[in-house]
Structure 1
Amino acid sequence: MPPAAQWTGTPSIKGSSESVRMALLTASLIGLQFTWGVEMTYCTPYLLELGLTKSRISLVWIAGPLSGLIMQPIVGVIADRSKNRYGRRRPFMVGGTILVSMFLLLLGWTREVVKMFITDKETAREATIALAVLSIYGIDFAINAVQGSCRGLIVDTLPIPKQQQGSSWASRMVAVGHLVGYGAGAIDLGKVFGPMLGDTQFKQLTAVAALTLCLTIGITSWAVSERVLVSNGKEDQEELGAMQVLQTIFKTATNLPRGIQAICFVQFWAWIGWFPFLFYSTTWVGEIYLRYDAPAEAKAAGDLTGQVGRIGSMSLIAFSTITFLMSVILPWIVKSPEDEKSPGFTPRPPASIASFVVEIEKYKPSLLTTWTISHCIFASSMILAPFVHSLRSATIIVAVCGISWAISCWAPFTFLGVEINRLSSPGGHSYGHVARTSMELESPVQLHLNHDFGDSHSPSTGEGSGVYLGIMNLYTTLPQFVGTAISWVVFTILEPGKSPELAKEAHPDEHHSTDGPNAIAVCLFIGAMSAAVAALATRRLKRIQNY
């Protein structure tokens, strides 16, 4: 039997209450989602304004899945075996954040950087596009390292009974990041900051995103203490070279436990649908506005990128508000997988409300059922996209998807966290005792985040969380290649030229027709079909793992 991994210290989080500790643990996701929001909201219209066609932009966005495909599994494997005295995740979080901030600022000031070296107008325009695309790739590669580490930190720190709670808090912070990001995008930042952070909305947003990311990653890194890996058993004798990293990823990916494999399969189909929504919905809403609702003076006012970003951000504020509300409300009315794994467990609340609580428990939907419903809601909304002809309708459809997004940011990570910690628990399957220990108490108890891993009743948490989270990210990024291919085909067929709504600003002498279907709406419709398949795959997960 190979020697077990050896650790020193215990995971701990600063804070005097459960809510404060959970908030500090997941605060990093606010900055992450803010940064993603700025990229997804503004980069598409920015590149369209520079003169790129939609079909070429769809190839630019291959940066997202490519970086996720490469970075998260590799960083996960390396971090899992890291013996850094500051822990396995936080060094990658901090280092990646520095790189993301540098590329964000470069993206915002691409024109100015290019003008320092190139004076010819046409050459400068082409160089600006190239540098903007390079910056987007840099942001995506670095932020994927940060994101994987932040998620791994949550799985590593929390015991099994708290995995759902941690994931639901993560979903709330993602919603807050969305809300803050889209709120910042919807207001005129020039009136708030003046020229201090730049002379355009886009520059100011990239600067604010860099500051927010540094602040939130700093808060989580300060508040959380990781246990430190001292010895990794047999693996200490193996050199961790490039081939060993790839072999570890391949071996794990091709021999996934059935439960994790089923979760990844759901993610694959779900993300074929989410990819066009997350990257193009803001542009779609803005184009609907310019095509059907915008007055002539708005079209002639200039800064169409800023207009599209602000209009699209307003719809995504509604999306983020609903996401946040659902991430707060749903965990109270949805059964945790832990509850379902303990069939003999009966809640024992105070006697005054016991009958009410027991009655409510009977009607709580399972997390698996809730996840299935979320796929159906998303599919039903996106099916309507090609038939939308008003800003109001587009905003309503985007907002409703906030229900599904709240659950999508929560459910898969809950199931994966439980599975990972079950696998690393003694015996690899039994954790009912741990769940009942803290849940059967009649009086409220403090959250035991600073749990002692030496206790035989506490599960060993997250020894392989990095590689498993990285592999699930493969199933999140691979469908984005599929989505990119679909987008490229649709854009090439329906809108082979420059964006009819946005390209006029960069090319005023050309004629761009807005006749025919909106290409992004067609991509959203195709995504709805994939979400329906994800709903069926989620139901199969119940049969595989009996959730």
Structure 2
Amino acid sequence: MGENQVQHEEPNGPESPLWKLFLVGSIAAGVQFGWALQLSLLTPYVQLLGVPHKWSSFIWLCGPISGMVVQPIVGFSSDRLVSRFGRRKPFIAAGTTLICLAVLLIGFAADIGYKMGDDFNKKTKPRAVAFFVAGFWILDIANNMVQDPARAFLADLSRHNHRKMRIANAFFSFFMAVGNILGYAAGSYNKLYKLLPFTLTKGCDTYCANLKTCFFIDIIILVVLVVIALNVVPEPHFTKTTDHEDPFIVQVKSTFRNLGRPMWLLFLVTALNWVAWFPFLLFNTDWVGKEIYGGDPTSKDNPTMVKIYDNGVRAGSLGLMLTAGVLGFMSLAIDPLSKWLGGARKLWGVVNFVLAAALALTALVTKVAEKARKTAPPYAPPDHGAKAGVLAIFAAMGIPQAVTFSIPFALASIFSSDSGSGHGLSLGVLNLAIVIPQMFVSLISGPWDQLFGGGNLPAFLLGAVAAFIDGILALTVLPPPSSNT
């Protein structure tokens, strides 16, 4: 064991005003803009590069794997970093730089593949896929480097005040909604590339050029928000004491051994919640393009089917904008709704039933769309009933999403504050309850869907069952936090 600088928060430091929480929370808008592009456009895009649907979910393993490794390390390190720039800010700045590099690599993957010899008359473009996946890995690592320190920064600014922790995480969730709206709006506009005409090249068609343009916009938004927040909001002062510190692995093991019953139950409810969420997050626009619109992204002999699929993906992006809008309003209502229902855990339980119902209704809306296609002219768009059903499901998803993006992190900050453990490491460890279910879903969703004949509904219905069970657990076993304003 060596001697390291361990930082302890000054117990009587001044409380941070809400505007500081607001500015730090705004970083989420820049990060989530990129996430919105990932969730709405990258699964379809990787299929356009020639990766089959049943294998595309495996590409998403990079996010859970990197999160499982990166977030605890970043959280642990940011709790102990001693620098004149602060302990959270250097990680946020480094992660932002990596995000910019990663989105450029993803955006130019097709161009690089074309220059290196990919034949775009063939179904699969292996070089483009390789650079896409490399950029995807870097992007997920970088996102984890920004999000955990940003949430820990908010917890530091809250100064052990439970209500401010809830408000801070509600701000973070609100700005995630703002980022989603901007990202989905950009992703749904199929002529955005005209703002930057150089993005359209021989190796990069209009879909690819739009994606590339979206990522350029993402870089601008993220950098502006991060620069403002890091320069305007100072980190709280910490006293530095020399103490015997164990290595990272020993510290994580010790953290798990010392976790109280509330944190373990929080992990359980969070994990099941993400088993419910992740299939829809992975395949929502793919579901609209295939099951609702009836398109096929791999149909090289019939470009009309590819266009129909693309129209469905863009309709799904519009639906995701509705999700984000409801998410924003719901984020601002979390604190009063929690008080009205008698606690955040009760709100979490109730909205899980909303999530279960919305996921189950995807099957009904799909059947309506399929039935209408049988009597409609060839290549006709879905009827109004199917479209309305899709948009209603997407809008309803914003209600539980606001809770998923805020309450688990607020509870983790509260529990860690009560126990005296570092916010960074505690939030990093909580991330394991998110990424392990994501790995599980990524591994089984493709084979699971194929087992039941392909498509996305089997994974969605599995998520509905998980959400229903999770609602019961949140209401019955998750303990309330100790009383503290």
* Shared fold, TM over 0.5: yes
1:272-421 to 2 correspondence within 5 Å? Answer: 272-291=275-294, 300=304, 306-335=310-339, 364-388=341-365, 389=369, 390-421=386-417
**Aligned equivalents of 2:364 and 2:13: distance in 1?**
51
How large is the Cα RMSD of the aligned pairs?
3.0
For the 8 Å contact 1:103–1:139, the answer to whether it is kept is yes
CA apart distance, 1:228: 5.2
CA apart distance, 1:537: 1.9
Corresponding position of 1:91: 90
Instruction: Work out which of the residue numbers 189, 197, 200 in structure 2 matches 1:195.
Output: 197
Corresponding position of 2:373: none
Corresponding position of 1:105: 104
Query: Which is greater in Rg?
Result: 1
Residues 304 and 34 of structure 1: CA distance in aligned 2, closer, same or farther (over 3 Å): farther
**Aligned equivalents of 2:125 and 2:312: distance in 1?**
21
Residues 42 and 181 of structure 1: CA distance in aligned 2, closer, same or farther (over 3 Å): same
CA apart distance, 1:152: 1.0
**1:527 pairs with 2:463:** yes
CA apart distance, 1:133: 1.2
**Aligned equivalents of 1:274 and 1:91: distance in 2?**
31
**1:61 pairs with 2:65:** no
Corresponding position of 1:147: 147
Question: What whole-Å deviation, never above 9, does each CA across 1:310-348 have from its counterpart, x for those lacking one?
Answer: 21110111111111111123423431xxxxxxxxxxxxx
Larger RCO: Structure 1 or Structure 2 (Cα < 8 Å, ≥ 6 residues apart)?
A: 1
**1:22 pairs with 2:21:** yes
CA apart distance, 1:488: 2.5
Residues 484 and 415 of structure 1: CA distance in aligned 2, closer, same or farther (over 3 Å): same
- AA aligned to 1:51 is G
CA apart distance, 1:183: 1.3
1:472-487 to 2 correspondence within 5 Å? Answer: 472-487=430-445
Question: What whole-Å deviation, never above 9, does each CA across 1:365-397 have from its counterpart, x for those lacking one?
Answer: 422211110111001111122222223212211
CA apart distance, 1:11: 7.6
| Higher mean C-alpha deviation, range 303-312 or range 524-533 | 303-312
Corresponding position of 1:446: none
**1:183 pairs with 2:179:** no
- AA aligned to 2:356 is A
Question: What whole-Å deviation, never above 9, does each CA across 1:511-536 have from its counterpart, x for those lacking one?
Answer: xxxxxxx6212211101111122112
CA apart distance, 1:542: 4.5
Alignment gaps of 5+ in structure 1 = 336-362, 425-462, 496-517
For the 8 Å contact 1:109–1:203, the answer to whether it is kept is yes
| Higher mean C-alpha deviation, range 326-335 or range 377-386 | 326-335
| Higher mean C-alpha deviation, range 251-260 or range 130-139 | 251-260
Residues 392 and 299 of structure 1: CA distance in aligned 2, closer, same or farther (over 3 Å): farther
Corresponding position of 2:476: 540
- AA aligned to 1:535 is G
- AA aligned to 1:537 is L
**Aligned equivalents of 1:102 and 1:71: distance in 2?**
18
Corresponding position of 1:134: 134
For the 8 Å contact 2:449–2:458, the answer to whether it is kept is no
Question: What whole-Å deviation, never above 9, does each CA across 1:191-220 have from its counterpart, x for those lacking one?
Answer: 661415556211111221222222222222
**Aligned equivalents of 1:464 and 1:232: distance in 2?**
15
**Aligned equivalents of 2:61 and 2:184: distance in 1?**
23
**Aligned equivalents of 1:330 and 1:464: distance in 2?**
25
CA apart distance, 1:493: 2.7
**Aligned equivalents of 2:306 and 2:92: distance in 1?**
39
**1:464 pairs with 2:422:** yes
**Aligned equivalents of 2:403 and 2:324: distance in 1?**
13
- AA aligned to 1:173 is F
| Number of aligned positions between the proteins | 447
CA apart distance, 1:86: 1.1
**Aligned equivalents of 2:479 and 2:129: distance in 1?**
49
Question: What whole-Å deviation, never above 9, does each CA across 1:475-527 have from its counterpart, x for those lacking one?
Answer: 011111221122022233346xxxxxxxxxxxxxxxxxxxxxx6212211101
Residues 364 and 534 of structure 1: CA distance in aligned 2, closer, same or farther (over 3 Å): closer
For the 8 Å contact 1:288–1:391, the answer to whether it is kept is no
CA apart distance, 1:118: 2.9
**Aligned equivalents of 2:363 and 2:253: distance in 1?**
40
Residues 377 and 474 of structure 1: CA distance in aligned 2, closer, same or farther (over 3 Å): same
**1:117 pairs with 2:87:** no
**Aligned equivalents of 2:389 and 2:5: distance in 1?**
60
Corresponding position of 2:232: 223
SS at match of 2:465: helix
**Aligned equivalents of 1:124 and 1:479: distance in 2?**
29
CA apart distance, 1:124: 8.6
Corresponding position of 1:493: 451
Q: Identity over aligned residues, as a percent?
A: 24
Residues 10 and 290 of structure 1: CA distance in aligned 2, closer, same or farther (over 3 Å): farther
- AA aligned to 1:178 is N
**Aligned equivalents of 1:147 and 1:129: distance in 2?**
27
- AA aligned to 1:386 is A
**Aligned equivalents of 2:13 and 2:187: distance in 1?**
37
- TM-score where L is the length of structure 2: 0.84
**Aligned equivalents of 1:258 and 1:315: distance in 2?**
39
Question: What whole-Å deviation, never above 9, does each CA across 1:170-199 have from its counterpart, x for those lacking one?
Answer: 111111111111111122343661415556
- TM-score where L is the length of structure 1: 0.75
**Aligned equivalents of 1:106 and 1:280: distance in 2?**
23
**Aligned equivalents of 1:265 and 1:168: distance in 2?**
22
**Aligned equivalents of 2:437 and 2:177: distance in 1?**
23
Corresponding position of 1:75: 74
For the 8 Å contact 2:64–2:439, the answer to whether it is kept is yes
